[in-house]
Structure 1
Amino acid sequence: MKRMILVLWDIDRTLLYTGDIDRRVYKETFTSVVGRPPTALPARGTGITMPLAVRELLRVNQVPEEDVETFAARIVDELPERLASHQELLVNDGVIMPGAMDALAAVQKAEHLIPAVVTGNLRGNAETKLSALGLIGYLDTTIGGYASDDPNRPTLVRIAQDRAAAKYGSSFNRDNTVIVGDSLEDVRTGLEGGARVIAVASGTTTEQQLRAAGAQHVLADLTSTPTLLRFIDQACGSPLAPQDRGRIGAVAAAGNGGR
């Protein structure tokens, strides 16, 4: 029997795309909490966690620094409920990324693969999006890592690994954990957090950029399910190449230097 592999899916631009709905929710929530509409919104497709995006939103809109943390906490608390109020909009305007449903179904069906989530979304936002587009049943959302757990995305890998270990009775580390995601943040999350990375160039980052950042494998999209399954097994079936070990060391050193 093959050893268990934890497959951690990113959500936005990897599995689904909700257009400007997130930005609309940021705008509405900012206006509700701060008392005026924002003049600037978070950048698209960066992959940073929602709590960090909220702080960026406050600062670029000239909210006094002494008010940032208070307002950020209030906005983060309000975001899941406000997104849920747009359920109909998500259903009508949200899009499942090409091949995503078949890929999710194949990973769920494979006995040695455990499908979960590591995402920059708050848990409530993640579950609302996945439910609206009919994808939540393919994932074990109880063992995911969410921005509501920690704003530092690489930390979410260990959170998900620990939850999976408690539920499934196996230990998970870099050698049997894979992230599937579209952004440079997904690659950084794997390198720094303890997972192999299969990148999908379905977002705003090119295949070349994803490969240069350290992804073990890169796909143009999720339309070839057999290729994805093969890459998952390959990523967890052999030691890291020397250049990948070097990238991990460099990321770790940079992270320690910045603390």
Structure 2
Amino acid sequence: MNRLVLWNVDLTLVDVAIVTRDAYAEAFRLVTGRPLVKLVPPHGRPDSEIVFETLAVNGIVAEDDHLPRFLSALATAFADRRGRLAKEGRMMAGAKDALKAVSRLDGVVQTVLTGTIRANAVHKLKAFGLDRYVDFSLGGYGEEVYPKATLLQVAQSRAKQRLGTPFTAANTVVIGDSTRDAQAARIGGAGMIGVASGRSMASELREAGADIVLPDLSSASEVVAAVTALTSRMDRAAH
């Protein structure tokens, strides 16, 4: 049985907010010629959405080329700062052990479902040695201008093309810390493990549709048990 596990990145696996803000400020300056005054909070949204709102709240009228230019500048600014990630950021408690433990489950492929653009998602996980457990070619990323639920379905389609297995709510799991992650899983068609380590409280994650809620990733065995429980539905359906 193939199983697709999609991890959110920020505040689920790592916290690199300081470096991210600095990279945004640099990208904003390069694209607009003005200093960044206000960066809108992410709230689990994709970079593409954050860019448009940040331009608006800083009084910039978005033009057709603003988004591609901004995302390109953001990738460069973030890459220039990648040496600061491990020093000024942190890996969330239990993240490495959880990724490693889930990777040992039969048929599991792990990737990311993140609002971060792909290049920056790679840098974020690589800084903490987490990239070895993730197939970045199968994920959904912030430069793809879709809602997160659609990004989930894009990732499922990529995995189907690679593995030949249809991915549905019975064999796909999203692991994330925000209500947006939970809503994307419910709408897009996946089981959802909420991790109350970031933007949303456990009660909010449950209300948004999380099937299982964990306080954090510190118990790898609990994460494995949750993934197993949510993907065993396919086995039950087959009997």
TM-score, shorter chain, exceeding 0.5: yes
1:155 is paired with a residue whose SS is: helix
Give 2:226's match in structure 1, choosing from 204, 222, 231: 231
Give 1:51's match in structure 2, choosing from 45, 48, 51: 48
Name the CA distance, whole Å, in 2 between partners of 1:238 and 1:212.
Answer: 22
Answer yes or no: is 1:62 the counterpart of 2:59.
Answer: yes
Name the CA distance, whole Å, in 2 between partners of 1:158 and 1:80.
Answer: 25
- Give the RMSD, CA atoms, in angstroms: 1.4
Name the CA distance, whole Å, in 1 between partners of 2:146 and 2:33.
Answer: 25
Q: Which runs of 5+ in 1 are unaligned?
A: 240-259
2:121 is paired with a residue whose SS is: helix
Q: Give the TM-score of the pair, scaled to structure 2.
A: 0.93
Name the CA distance, whole Å, in 2 between partners of 1:141 and 1:71.
Answer: 26
Q: How does 1:126-165 map to 2 (within 5 A)?
A: 126-165=121-160
Q: How does 1:161-200 map to 2 (within 5 A)?
A: 161-200=156-195
Post-superposition offset of 1:224 = 1.1
Q: Which shifted more, 104-113 or 171-180? A: 104-113
Give 2:96's match in structure 1, choosing from 98, 101, 110: 101
Post-superposition offset of 1:33 = 0.7
Name the CA distance, whole Å, in 2 between partners of 1:156 and 1:72.
Answer: 18
Q: Which shifted more, 162-171 or 230-239? A: 230-239
For CA contacts below 8 A with separation 6 or more, give which structure has more relative contact order: 2
Q: Describe the superposition over 1:216-236 as per-residue Cα deviations: whole angstroms up to 9, x where unpaired.
A: 000000011111111112223
Matching residue's letter, 2:9: I
Contact 1:22/1:83 (CA < 8 Å) preserved in 2?
yes
Name the CA distance, whole Å, in 2 between partners of 1:164 and 1:19.
Answer: 30
Matching residue's letter, 1:49: P
Identity %: 36
In the TM superposition, structure 1's runs of 4+ consecutive aligned residues that sit over 3 Å from their partners are none
Name the CA distance, whole Å, in 2 between partners of 1:19 and 1:122.
Answer: 15
Contact 2:112/2:134 (CA < 8 Å) preserved in 1?
yes
2:17 is paired with a residue whose SS is: coil
2:120 is paired with a residue whose SS is: helix
Matching residue's letter, 1:230: A
Q: Give the TM-score of the pair, scaled to structure 1.
A: 0.86
Give 1:81's match in structure 2, choosing from 73, 76, 82: 76
Post-superposition offset of 1:68 = 4.1
Name the CA distance, whole Å, in 2 between partners of 1:26 and 1:81.
Answer: 10
Q: How does 1:34-49 map to 2 (within 5 A)?
A: 34-44=32-42, 46-49=43-46
1:154 is paired with a residue whose SS is: helix
Q: Describe the superposition over 1:186-230 as per-residue Cα deviations: whole angstroms up to 9, x where unpaired.
A: 111111111111000010210011111110000000011111111
